[in-house]
Amino acid sequence: MNLNHHFNITPLDASFGAQVTDLDLANLDDTGFTSLYSAWLEYALLVFPGQHLSHQAQIDFARRFGELEFDLAPISNVRRDGSVRQADGSDDVVKVLVGNMGWHADSTYMPVQAKGAVFTAHTVPAKGGQTGWADMRAAYAALDDTLRARVDGLSAHHSLHYSQAKIDGTPNQNGSYSGYGLHDLPPPLRPLVKVHPETGRPALLIGRHAYGIPGLSEAESEALLETLVTFACQAPRVYHHQWAAGDAVIWDNRCLLHRACPWDMTEPRVMYHSRIGGDPASEAAKDHTPT
């Protein structure tokens, strides 16, 4: 008999997140998944040590949360031939890996923001290379009344081209990185406060892709967004996971920011990412008409 719905949940030492043990994600029954989904909505981040998911098992697990924006992508500084990419500013993939070290939410620069993601560790460096998450629900709740009233009425544009250019990390045209967002199409406009479509909880929607708040000067917009990220991404609203090969996590992209932490890039770090697509009814940008 499958007892996967009797797994153990241990809250993390933060305002969000939990470690989940005593279950096999690759063989999780429907009752277990229903319980797990409820826990995911409550904690926003679930950490599963030692799962060692195959690529297909990762895709299958992610797909239970919704249609996928993409099924599987390596987040890695290792080429297909096994060599480690050079961290000398010349490699397009490394430029994006460095960009990912800034706090962000996935796909906010696309017409429809992602719902969440499943992430697995395959090769980890000896030290560093953690992934951090930050709770934007708790951050919004902790704002003082004046700042909360101010951000409630504001929006910001989101652009991957902007965020990469800000760190001098724009990939070269026809280079080794390809992905949506590195173009001159109009950037999506999103409110600074997002109401979660399933829980109803408000959360800040900020991060490195956000810029250009309408009604503010460039300097005012930049200062406000930096103030919000600095305030939001502080204890007890942050958790950094020290990876071990075989670990898996799933996070809710609708209420958390995340980032990669630096490591010695002469060492390999190989992770795999499955991105869960957002529902256009709730995740479409303000200036995008859902289809």
pLDDT band at residue 1 under the 50/70/90 scheme:
very low
Instruction: Give one DSSP letter per residue of 97-110, joined into a string.
Output: HHHTTS-B-TTTTS
Nearest alpha carbon to residue 16 among 145, 143, 101, 139: 139
Q: What is the rounded CA–CA span in Å between residue 235 and residue 270?
A: 28
Alpha helices in 44-143 (DSSP H): 55-63, 92-99, 136-142
Q: What DSSP state is assigned to residue 278?
A: P
Q: What is the rounded CA–CA span in Å between residue 199 and residue 256?
A: 14
Nearest alpha carbon to residue 127 among 263, 259, 246, 244: 263
Q: What is the mean pLDDT of residues 201-205?
A: 98
State residue 183's pLDDT score.
Answer: 58
- pLDDT top residue among 268 and 169: 268
Q: What is the rounded CA–CA span in Å between residue 74 and residue 47?
A: 19
Q: What is the rounded CA–CA span in Å between residue 129 and residue 97?
A: 11
Q: What is the rounded CA–CA span in Å between residue 287 and residue 149?
A: 23
Please report, for the chain, the start and end positions of each structural domain, with discontinuous segments joined by +: 4-283
CA dihedral 170, 242, 44, 104 (to 10 degrees): -20
Whether this model's pTM surpasses 0.85: yes
State residue 130's pLDDT score.
Answer: 97
What pLDDT, in 10s, does the model give residues 68-127? Answer: 999 999 998 999 999 999 888 777 888 888 888 999 999 999 999 999 999 999 999 999
The CATH classification number of 4-283 equals 3.60.130.10
Picking from 153-167, 176-190, 233-247, which range would have the lowest pLDDT averaged per residue? 176-190
pLDDT at position 237 over 80: yes
State residue 179's pLDDT score.
Answer: 56
Q: What is the rounded CA–CA span in Å between residue 116 and residue 126?
A: 28
